[in-house]
Chains A and B, each alone.
Chain A
Amino acid sequence: MPLSEDQIKKLIIETIPDATIEIKDLMGDKNHYSAKIKSKLFNNLNKVEQHKLVYKSLKGRMGNELHALSITTEGKK
């Protein structure tokens, strides 16, 4: 079952409540997305830790139902 943009957003917000999220369905196939995520929770984390937090929010879907999600993370003031 592919995930919709809204489902991805909802999952991320559950773990990262203050996240500002921009999602693009790159191919229009609900399978290749890019997400730009900003959150205060990223402020004291390195890039690997920031991406791990996003993966954690997706609860094991990344690499499974969610084939391709390109992630860009940024801290927030």
Chain B
Amino acid sequence: MNITEKIKNIIKENKVCLFMKGTPEAPQCGFSMAVNNVLKHLNVEFKAINVLEDENIRQGIKEYSDWPTIPQLYVKEEFVGGCDIIKEMFEKGELQNLLKKHKIIS
């Protein structure tokens, strides 16, 4: 399986995927931690992928999303954004609406 297929599978199999640096318990970067905190605050169950553990995924996800930075959030196979967008959407209530629309939170 090549890296694109591997990423595609991860995104397909998990409603909410966060590609991040570090783990939800121990984020290794402030931006990853910020998105992680938003998701935890909203009680969202999500699959966290630590890109620091796999250089292929770290590079692969940047190309897959055409997005140069980590973290990256996917909801229902759709790329939602990086840290700035997620924070802004959360502040405006748009992230909550998106998650409700997909019945991830109620």
Contacts and interface: CB of A to CB of B under 8 A. Distances in A.
Is B truly associated with A? yes
Nearest to A48: B81
Interface in B26-72: 31, 62, 66-69
Main secondary structure of the interface of A (DSSP, over half): mixed
Nearest to B66: A52
Contacts of B31: 68
Interface residues of B, number: 15
A62 B79 CA distance: 19
A41 B66 CA distance: 19
Contacts of B83: 70
B89 to A, nearest CB: 8
Interface residues of A, number: 12
A55 B80 CA distance: 16
A28 interface: no
Contacts, number: 29
Contacts of A47: 81, 85, 88-89
Interface in B68-97: 68-69, 79-85, 88-89
Interface in A26-55: 47-48, 51-52, 55
B85 A70 contact: no
A70 B84 contact: yes
Contacts of A63: 62, 68-69
A75 to B, nearest CB: 14
A62 B81 contact: no
B62 A48 contact: no
Interface of A: 47-48, 51-52, 55, 60, 62-63, 68, 70-72
